[in-house]
Amino acid sequence: MADLSPGVASAISPLVRRIVAPNAGPLTGAGSNTYLVGVDEIVVVDPGPAIASHVEAIVGCGGDRIRWIAVTHAHADHAGAAAALAERTGAELLAFPAIAEGLVVESTEFGVLAMHTPGHSPDHVCYLLEEERMLFSGDTVLDGSTVMIAPPEGDMAAYLASLERLSSRRLRLRTIAPGHGRLIDDPAARLAGYLAHRLEREASIVAALEAGAVTIDQVVDAVYVDLHATLRDAAAATVHAHLIKLAADGRATGTDGAWHARAA
Ligand SMILES: [Zn+2]
C-alpha cells in the first residue's frame, strides 16, 4: 500500500499518482493530496498548498505533460499552488464557477467529469475519472479526519444533498480518492456511514434542545462527550450548521443565540 509520506509520487491506480503535500495538521490529516491523472497528458487534481517544494515535486513528476489543473474548491490547502503551477506549466486552470457539471477534460486516454457538490464550501466540485470510476472528493469525503461544515460558508443541507448524490448507484464508483488520507475502496459503505453519522448527530442535537439546551455551547456539551479543547470551535461550528438546517426544516427555531426545538 502506497504510503502518505510527503513529496513522494506513488501510483495508486493505472492512471493515477498521488503526491502528499508537506502540510500535515489537525484539519489536513497527513497533508493535502495532489493527484496526477494520465500518462501522456496529465490533469493535476488539487495542486495543494503554495509550498515551493510541493510545486517542484508536482513538476518533477508531471513535467511538460501537465495540461490541466483542476481544483475541487478554493481553500488554500487545495488550490493555493494553482497559480504557481499554472505559471510553471502553462496548464489550463479548471475551477468553479467556470466548470461545475459535465465533461471537463477529454484526453486520448481518459475523461474527467465535474460534479458540483456544495456543502463544505459553496464552490466545491468533485471529479470523476470515468475509466476507473474513481472519484476525487476534495473535502467532501475524507479519510482519517472530519469534514468541516462551518457556517456561513458551510451548508449542512447542501452537504447532505451532495452526499446523497454521490451515493447514487448509477455513478458506479469503485474508489474515492479523498483530499486528505488514503484511497477509499468501499465508496458505498463509506458514503452510507457519512450520511448515517450526520443524521445521528442531527438527532442528538434535537434531543439536546428538547432536554433544555439553548445555546450552541450547551448543545456542544450535551452532544460531544470527552471533547478535546482544540476541537471545541469545530464542534460549535458543526452544531451551528446543523441548527441552521433544522431551522430550515421547521424542526428548530433560533434567534439571538437561543435555540429551541419545534415539534415536527
Ligand atoms: Zn476545504
User: For residue 66, what pLDDT is reported?
Assistant: 98
β-sheet bridge partners, residue 135: 128, 176
Phi, psi of 101 (to 5 degrees): -145, 140
Pairing between β-strand 111-116 and β-strand 102-106 as defined by DSSP bridges:
antiparallel
Q: Please say whether the beta carbons of 169 and 54 come within 8 A.
A: no
pLDDT at position 230 is 86
Which pLDDT value is given to residue 149? 96
Domains in the chain: ranges and CATH: 9-185 (3.60.15.10), 198-261 (1.10.10)
Whether the per-residue pLDDT at 29 is higher than 90: the answer is no
Q: What is the pLDDT of residue 264?
A: 64
- Grid cell for residue 168: 447514487
Tell me 146's DSSP state: P
pLDDT (0 to 100) of residue 61: 96
| Residue 2 confidence (pLDDT) | 62
Pick from 9-13, 176-180, 194-198, 226-230: least confident = 226-230
Of all residues in the chain, the percent with pLDDT exceeding 90 is: 90
**Residue 233 backbone dihedrals phi, psi, to 5 degrees:** -60, -40
pLDDT reading at 231 higher than 90: no
- The alpha carbon of 50 and the centre of ligand 1 are apart by a number of angstroms equal to 14
pTM: 0.95
- Could you give the count of Cα atoms lying within 13 Å of 59 in the half-sphere of its Cβ? 16
Rounded to the nearest whole angstrom, what is the distance from the C-alpha of residue 211 to the centroid of ligand 1?
A: 33
User: For residue 97, how far is its CA from the centre of ligand 1 (angstroms)?
Assistant: 16
The arithmetic mean of pLDDT across residues 75-84, rounded, is 98
pLDDT of residue 28: 87
Helices within the chain (DSSP H only): 52-62, 76-79, 82-89, 156-166, 187-210, 216-223, 232-248
Name which of 18-22, 84-88, 142-146, 213-217 the model is least confident about. 142-146
Q: What 8-state DSSP symbol labels residue 210?
A: H
Confidence of residue 3 (pLDDT cuts 50, 70, 90): confident
pLDDT in tens, 84-131: 999 999 999 999 999 999 999 999 999 999 999 999 999 999 999 999
ω into residue 22 within 30 of 0, thus cis?
A: no
Question: Which residue stretches of 108-174 are H helix?
Answer: 156-166
Confidence of residue 255 (pLDDT cuts 50, 70, 90): confident
Distance of CA 247 to the CA centre of its chain: 25
Distance 34 CA to ligand 1 centre (A): 14
Centre of ligand 1 from the C-alpha of residue 95, in Å: 14
- 75 C-alpha vs ligand 1 centroid, how far in Å? 5
Q: How far does the centroid of ligand 1 lie from the alpha carbon of residue 104, in Å? A: 21
Between the CA of residue 29 and those of 129, 142, 144, 146, 245, what are the distances in Å?
A: 24, 9, 7, 9, 27
The CA 159 to ligand 1 mean position distance, Å, reads 13
CA distances from 219 to 93, 123, 184, 240, 261 (A): 42, 29, 32, 9, 12
Q: For residue 1, is pLDDT > 70? A: no
Per-residue pLDDT, 256: 77
Round to whole Å and give the CA distance between 79 and 31. 13
How many angstroms does the Cα of residue 37 sit away from the middle of ligand 1? Answer: 21
Share of the chain above pLDDT 70, in %: 99
Q: How confident is residue 180, by pLDDT bands cut at 50, 70 and 90?
A: very high
Residue 183 Cα to ligand 1 midpoint, Å, equals: 18
260 alpha carbon to ligand 1 midpoint, in Å? 30
120 CA to centre of ligand 1 in angstroms: 7
Report CA(54)–ligand 1 centroid distance (Å): 18
Chain segment 148-168, per-residue pLDDT in tens? 999 999 999 999 999 999 999
Beta-strand relationship, 92-94 and 258-261: unpaired
Residue 71 · residue 95 · CB < 8 Å: yes
pLDDT value at residue 145: 72
Longest Cα pair distance anywhere in the chain, in angstroms?
61
- Span from the CA of 73 to the centroid of ligand 1 (angstroms): 7
Specify the DSSP element, H or E, that contains 176.
strand 175-178
Ligand 1 centre distance from Cα of residue 262 (Å): 32
Q: How far apart are CA 90 and CA 92, in angstroms?
A: 7
**What length is written for the chain?**
264
- Enter the C-alpha cell of residue 30: 497527513
- Please, what is the average pLDDT of the chain? 95
